Chains A and B, each alone.
Chain A
């Protein structure tokens, strides 16, 4: 496996994890606020 592919997979994985955590902390709260009409 070439280095560029390993690095790409690693970064995409880290990005995906970051996205999931971000959504869990702020995304859901945002949805809730919108649902409450705030």
Chain B
């Protein structure tokens, strides 16, 4: 009895599968041929000269999900109209263009540069992030400015943002290097606390090695934190391949 409780349902499943295979064998080809004929008609009506629908998978099985080939010289609008016309045929599933997308490649527009770096520069031109003397503790009065910097950096999320700490040349070189690194780290920590993802922030201290152009290295104005966007990783939109009524 226990065997029967397992055997009968499994036998039923196998029977269902065989029934499906048999039905597909008899009607699959016919269905694909009918859909193909209707698709050709719809393509011709939509003005898709040279576009051929292929209702077969890569393995050669008949399918309801056609690949449209050809028509590379047609405009995007016509290709869209062709895809829509085919998609509106009852029984047709997802449509793909051979080559991957329904949109013709017409030379990609380069991503527009983000302005956050300039925004941060503008913020820091008027005010500076101040630290306690010889310490990496951010002056409480400057925390608001760091918050503004975090807001300005928000459009650049997904980019690698470099935070570079600088000092003037007073004091010893090694000490300045460590201090500038600690200050850059401190700013990084505050930015992380303000919601900027840690993996996009790189903190680096260069000591007094890179004074502001035209300024004496010992000038206190060289004590500063600079921000730069060192790499952008634009998010690529996924092409929509199936314009249709679904």
Question: Which residues of A are in contact with B by a Cβ distance under 8 Å?
Answer: 1-8, 10-12, 14-16, 19
Contacts and interface: CB of A to CB of B under 8 A. Distances in A.
A15 B28 contact: no
**Interface residue SS majority, chain B:** helix
Interface of B: 9, 12-13, 16-17, 19-21, 23-25, 27-28, 31-32, 57, 59, 61-65, 93
A15 B9 CA distance: 9
The SS class assigned to the A binding surface is: helix
Contacts of A2: 24, 28, 57, 59, 61-63
Contact of B12 (A1, A3, A10, A19): A19
A3 B16 contact: no
> What are the 4 A-B residue pairs with the smallest beta carbon separation, nearest first?
A2-B61, A4-B24, A8-B20, A3-B28
14 contacts: A2-B28, A2-B59, A3-B27, A3-B31, A3-B62, A3-B64, A4-B21, A4-B24, A5-B61, A7-B20, A10-B20, A11-B19, A19-B9, A19-B12
